[in-house]
Amino acid sequence: MFIHELTHHQCAEILERVEFGRLACSRLDQPYVVPIRFSYDADRNCLYGFSSVGRKIEWMRENPKVCVEVEDIESSERWTTLVIFGRFEEIGDSPEQAGSRQRIWELFQQRPQWWFPAAAKVSGREPHSMVIYRIQIDRMTGRRSTKG
């Protein structure tokens, strides 16, 4: 098996087709990793997500430095992983963010069930308010394995 470093362009190609990843955030020296669904915006070099307010959003509001891990696995010998370092930014309802909200809506519509699981009802909990957010990509790295 050989492992190859990916270029920025190759990483972007993966992000164009993959919609699930793992978000890592931290608060008070405690890491937290959670699966997320996202849409990639190559023009703005960012990921967009949608979530109910909970631990993930509260922690990112306090410490906006985050990391996202994405994988595309065909087999134990053929896989690709990306690690994305970036900053959380909440997208609000202000007129200044209208363009961002429109772009997010366009990207979300390209993915069936873009709202799931963020808007799904969690048993035994009251409904939470919803947040649309952006992970502005500072840098990303990727590796791909290929068979001998």
C-alpha torsion 45→50→56→61, nearest 10 = 60
Instruction: Give the global pTM.
Output: 0.82
Is-contact 139 66, C-beta < 8 A? Answer: no
Cβ pair 80, 144 in contact under 8 A: yes
Mean pLDDT of 45-68: 94
Assigned architecture for domain 2-146: Roll (2.30)
Instruction: Tell me the average pLDDT across 23-52.
Output: 93
Residue 145 has pLDDT above 50, yes or no: yes
d(CA 99, CA 128): 25
Please count the CA atoms within 13 angstroms of the CA of 69 that sit on its side-chain side: 10
Could you tell me the residue ranges of all domains in the chain? Answer: 2-146
Give the pLDDT mean for 57-71: 97
Residue type, position 39, single letter: S
Please answer whether residues 85 and 63 qualify as being in contact, where contact means their C-beta atoms are separated by less than 8 angstroms. Answer: no
